[in-house]
């Protein structure tokens, strides 16, 4: 019997590995659950891109849900994402808040002039300090924040039409349901 033990252990291991293959075919490996989900959005105080003398804070945005979109003019994927935002901004049902990440203000303005500006509020984090609190990993990233300032949904990477219809819009719909 003891001579069968290694074989039995191996069969268990092979089962686990087989499970791993099956599991990964249905799950995204890179999906890292954000520890911020269902937590209050971190405090921030950032200048507006077009009026740097004015600042926006977390408190000022309370009361209405919004989608915080992290972008930069140097970010290649942001240019891919941008047309989607442009097209969906009107129909999303929440305000778009732009978060210009580690960018030279003039570059950002020039980039928005060419690609269009879908943002209701647009703030600039030149040093990237506040982004650390949000756990920003790389631009683009988007955070759905509800009226109480709690992060409800997060997406890393560009928002594609599929992600918008499959994940973002259901998340917004859930928010609106709660509000009623």
Partner 1 sequence: MTPELGQIALILALLLALAQSVLPIVGAWRGNGALMAVARPAAFGQGLFVVLAFVLLINAFLRFDFSVQYVADNSNLALPWYYRIAAVWGAHEGSMLLWIFILDVWTLALALFSRRLPEAFVARVLGVLGLIAVGFLAFILFTSDPFGRLIPMPADGGDLNPVLQDPGMTFHPPVIYMGYVGFSVAFAFSIAALLGGELEQAWVRWARPWTNVAWAFLTCGIVAGSWWAYAELGWGGWWFWDPVENASFMPWLVGTALIHAQAVTEKRGSLRAWTILLSIFAFSLSLLGTFLVRSGVLTSVHSFASDPRRGLFILCFLVIVVGGSLLLYALRAPKVAGGKPFAVVSRESAILVGNLMFTVAAAMVLLGTLFPLIGDALNLGRISVGPPYFGLLFPLLMLPVVLLLPFGPYLRWGKGEAPVLRSVMLRAGLAALACAIVAAFFVSTQLKAIAGVASAVWVAVGVLLYVLKRWREMPRGRRYPAEMAGMLFAHVGVAVFLIGVLLSESLSVTRDVRMAPGETQHIGGYDFRFDGVTETQGPNWRADQGTVIVTRDGKPVATMHPQKRTYTREQVQTESAIDPGITRDLYVALGEPMDKQHIDGAWALRLYSKPFIRWLWAGGLLMMLGGFIAASDRRFRLRREASVTDGKRSTLPPKPAEANA
Between 136 and 164, name the residue whose CB sits nearer to partner 1. Answer: 136
35 near partner 1, judged by CB under 8 A: no
Between 24 and 176, name the residue whose CB sits nearer to partner 1. Answer: 24
CA distance 8 to 109: 64
List the one residue from 16, 35, 54, 114 that touches partner 1 (CB under 8 A).
16
11 near partner 1, judged by CB under 8 A: yes
Between 20 and 63, name the residue whose CB sits nearer to partner 1. Answer: 20
| β-pair type (45-47, 55-57) | antiparallel
Interface with partner 1 in residues 101-120 (CB under 8 A): 104
Rg (C-alpha) for the chain, rounded Å, is: 21
Exposed/middle/buried for 113, CB within 10 Å: 0-12, 13-18, 19+? exposed
Candidate ranges 18-26, 36-44, 112-120, 141-149; the one touching partner 1 (CB under 8 A): 18-26
CA distance 63 to 97: 14
**φ and ψ at 100, to 5 degrees?**
-80, 115
Q: Which of 167, 129, 102, 154 is nearest to 45 (CA)?
A: 129
37 near partner 1, judged by CB under 8 A: no
Between 17 and 110, name the residue whose CB sits nearer to partner 1. Answer: 17
Q: Which residues are at the interface with partner 1 (CB under 8 A)?
A: 3-4, 6-7, 10-11, 13-14, 16-21, 23-25, 27, 29-30, 32-33, 104, 126
């Amino acid at each position: 019997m003891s001579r069968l033990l290694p074989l039995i252990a191996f069969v268990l291991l092979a089962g686990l590995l087989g499970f791993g293959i099956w599991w990964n075919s249905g799950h995204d490996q890179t999906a890292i659950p954000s520890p911020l989900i269902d937590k209050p959005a971190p405090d921030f105080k950032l200048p507006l891109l077009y009026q740097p003398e004015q600042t926006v804070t977390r408190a000022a945005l309370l009361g209405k849900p919004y989608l915080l979109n992290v972008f930069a003019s140097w970010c290649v994927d942001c240019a891919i994402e941008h047309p989607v935002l442009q097209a969906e901004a009107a129909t999303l049902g929440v305000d778009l808040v732009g978060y210009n990440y580690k960018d030279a203000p003039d570059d950002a303005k020039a980039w928005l002039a060419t690609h269009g500006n879908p943002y209701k509020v647009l703030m600039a984090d030149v040093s990237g300090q506040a982004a650390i609190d949000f756990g920003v990993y790389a631009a683009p990233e988007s955070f759905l924040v509800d009226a109480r300032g709690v992060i409800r949904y997060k997406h890393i990477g560009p928002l594609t039409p599929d992600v918008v219809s499959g994940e973002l819009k259901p998340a917004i719909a859930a928010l609106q349901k709660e509000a009623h």
